[in-house]
Chain A
Amino acid sequence: MDLSLSTRTVGDRTIVEVGGEIDVYTAPKLREQLVELVNDGSYHLVVDMEGVDFLDSTGLGVLVGGLKRVRAHEGSLRLVCNQERILKIFRITGLTKVFPIHTSVDEAVAATD
């Protein structure tokens, strides 16, 4: 399965809904999307990963890159993920300490810390 991307706005947050596989082939598309959003002034991003079937280190690199970009504008990048196999990758790389990970988009949108 290829990567699918769609965005919508809720208040000052931009939700990026990602589906399919994020790997060495598809990660550049996600990178482009995040860069474009930040360039267009969206600095508070919520990446909804509930539809993601596969994530590798290339995908992690893109998410870290996105976080760096929004932080440069005092923004935020939150993740929504309940899937154990995806969460495991964040855990073994220590990135659970870097990204706020939420169980629902509503929770991520409401978060303000």
Chain B
Amino acid sequence: MPTVELLFSAQPEHVRTARLVAAAVARRAGVDEAALDEVRLAVGEACSRAVGLHRNSGVEDPVRVRLTEDEKKFSIEVADEVPGTSSGSNPGGGADEPADDEGEMGLAVISGLVDDFEVIDGDKGGIIRMSWPTVSL
């Protein structure tokens, strides 16, 4: 069960809220202070991408963020409800679609920031999963 779960409507203004919540929970979980900026940026990128996918596809479901504190790591999952986009395929629009380019740039930023990172393509949508080690408090 996640420590904190957040659902927000797919609007850009709520991405900041997700960043703040994720950073606060990560800090409590014992993620190194130096890594909190990475957590904030990575979760922001994942949520921005999900918001873009929902908006481009006309999906009205919320974006779901699960923050889970384990013994040795802190995990974040950001789930969208748009099937078939996470592996880089682009059924929603042309290759020049700026939102898609930004989404891919977001993935590039996450992969540059986070060592433990994967993109899972599910039937109902994609999940970006990432984790950071925690130090015992």
Q: Are A56's CB and B41's CB within 8 A?
A: yes
- Interface segment, one of B10-18, B75-83, B87-95, B116-124: B10-18
Q: Are B109's CB and A23's CB within 8 A?
A: no
A61 to B15, CA, bound (A): 17
A61 to B19, CA, bound (A): 20
Q: Which of A23, A25, A56, A61 contacts B98 (CB 8 A)?
A: A61
Tell me the nearest residue of chain A to B104, going by C-beta.
Answer: A57
> Nearest chain A CB to B66's CB is how many angstroms away?
20
Interface size class of A (residues with CB under 8 A): 10 to 19
A72 to B81, CA, bound (A): 39
Q: Are A92's CB and B109's CB within 8 A?
A: yes
Q: Which of B41, B45, B113 has the most CB of A within 10 A?
A: B41
A residues near B98, Cβ cutoff 8 Å? 61
Q: Which of B13, B44, B52 contacts A56 (CB 8 A)?
A: B44
Task: Mark interface residues in A25-65 (1 if CB within 8 Å of B CB, else 0).
Answer: 10000000000000000000000000000101110110000
Q: Are B102's CB and A85's CB within 8 A?
A: no
Check B5 for interface membership: any CB of A closer than 8 A. no
B residues near A56, Cβ cutoff 8 Å? 41, 44-45, 48, 106, 109
Tell me the nearest residue of chain B to A84, going by C-beta.
Answer: B37
Q: Are B105's CB and A25's CB within 8 A?
A: no
Q: Which of A54, A57, A89, A92 contacts B102 (CB 8 A)?
A: A57
B residues near A21, Cβ cutoff 8 Å? 16
A93 to B112, CA, bound (A): 8
Q: Are B101's CB and A93's CB within 8 A?
A: no
Q: Which of B13, B16, B106 contacts A57 (CB 8 A)?
A: B106
A85 to B23, CA, bound (A): 15
Check A5 for interface membership: any CB of B closer than 8 A. no
Check B129 for interface membership: any CB of A closer than 8 A. no
Q: Are A89's CB and B52's CB within 8 A?
A: no
Check B40 for interface membership: any CB of A closer than 8 A. yes
Which 4 residue pairs of A and B lie closest in terms of their CB atoms, listed nearest first? Answer: A92-B112, A25-B12, A24-B48, A57-B105
User: Beyond A23-B48, A54-B44, A56-B45: 13 further Cβ-contacts under 8 Å?
Assistant: A21-B16, A23-B12, A23-B19, A54-B41, A56-B44, A56-B106, A56-B109, A57-B105, A57-B109, A61-B98, A61-B105, A85-B37, A93-B105
